[in-house]
Structure 1
Amino acid sequence: MNENTDYVKANLLLKLARAKGLRVATAESCTGGLVAAALTEIPGSSDVFERGFVTYSNEAKRDMIGVPWPLIEAHGAVSAEVARAMAQGALAHSLADIAVAVTGVAGPGGGSLEKPVGLVHFACARRESGVDHVERRFGPLSRAEIRAASVEQALDMMIGAVKAT
């Protein structure tokens, strides 16, 4: 959950994806582009990192990556269903082979009993396969810590997806 760990994981992801000729994309809400930033911090990442979508608002999720409005209304932006739709939408609106999505409550406000601060949903979609989902409840961490932990989780999911491809 620090910059050095993110750098190592981002570098590994890029190396593995490059070796398989795969490109990746991101669709981020609560991380606000931090996953994309971790990847583009690495020199030469442009041959693997295809694009990133920062879809912080519900309207951006709908307009940029095609998350259906009824899905957002039924489940809320912070849900497994929306995370999956974000990852699939990032693939549909890019040339990437693998896309990761992150949506959650980074705090300090905005949480509820059902969706507390620290709840983050992740989805990773592969063009030729399905969509994996992970729900994490990071607990009473700071906003920065939740976002950093989310970047690490997203990178881990993409590494796993590349290895499985």
Structure 2
Amino acid sequence: MEQLVKTATRIGERLVANGQTVTTAESCTGGGISYVLTEVAGSSAWFERAFVTYSNDAKQELVGVKEATLLAHGAVSEDVVAEMALGARDAANADFGLAVSGIAGPTGGTDDKPVGMVCFGWATKAGVVTETCLFDGDRHTIRRNTIAHSLCRLLSYLEGEK
């Protein structure tokens, strides 16, 4: 946890320096990313809000994921996290939207979408970048790795903006 909070602190410092904000739309992490971000004192200056969109209905109602996208690709897909990230960013009027959806297990996996598969989306004013990772381990480990990866990629992007 200590390393995650250090990463979140660096994210906050970069966002404050740039006068920017971030929001999250989380499924498989159930708010874990926003929990880590708000462990940083003063995060209200740069963390706008969180959307925990665990169900498909929540994804549609809170961050504007299209039913057609869910039907065509499933909740765990880059198409869905792209819409989640963009929808969260727009709903929060934030500079960055970060979204995750995955299968943390121990059940729910299929041959096409195994336990440990997580899709990520990072939305900016310039557009959205998506990625899919496959993490090993139990539910706790998969969720922790998802949180770490999402924050590390956001920090990498922010530091690249220097």
State the TM-score, normalizing by the size of structure 2. 0.97
Offset, 1:163: 2.7
1:102 aligns with 2:100: yes
Aligned to 2:151: 155
Within 5 Å, give how 1:5-44 maps onto structure 2. 5-44=3-42
SS at match of 1:93: helix
In 2, Cα distance between equivalents of 1:97 and 1:154: 16
Q: Which amino acid aligns with 2:132?
A: E
Equivalent in 113, 116, 139 of residue 114 of structure 2: 116
Looking at structure 2, the residues matched to 53 and 157 of structure 1 have their Cα atoms a distance apart, in angstroms, of 19
Q: Which amino acid aligns with 2:122?
A: C
Superposed CA RMSD: 0.9
Deviations 1:39-98 (A, max 9, x none): 001110000000110000000000000000000010000001001110001111112100
Does residue 1:90 correspond to 2:88, yes or no? Answer: yes
1:89-138 deviation line (CA, Å, top 9, x unaligned):
111111210010000000000000000000000010002x1211111000
Letter in 1 for 2:129: D
What's the counterpart of residue 130 of structure 1?
127
Q: CA deviation at 1:158?
A: 1.5
C-alpha distance after superposition, 1:10-62 (max 9, x if no partner): 01100111111110000000000000000001110000000110000000000
Aligned residue type for 1:138: F
Tell me by how many angstroms 1:161 deviates. 2.9
Separation in 2 of the partners of 1:59 and 1:96? Answer: 23
Using the size of structure 1 for normalisation, the TM-score is: 0.95
Give the whole-Å Cα distance in 2 for the aligned partners of 1:36 and 1:20.
20
Contact 1:98–1:161, Cα closer than 8 Å, also in 2: no
CA distance in 1, matches of 2:20, 2:158: 8
Measure, in 2, the Cα distance between the counterparts of 1:89 and 1:160: 22
Q: Distance in 2 between matches of 1:19 and 1:136?
A: 30
Length, aligned pairs only: 161
Contact between 1:107 and 1:117, CA under 8 Å: does it hold in 2? yes
Write the distance in 2 (CA, Å) between the matches of 1:95 and 1:71.
23
Q: Which residue does 1:143 correspond to in 2?
A: 139
Structure 2, gaps ≥5 residues long: none
Q: In the aligned structure 2, how far is the partner of 1:151 from the partner of 1:91?
A: 18
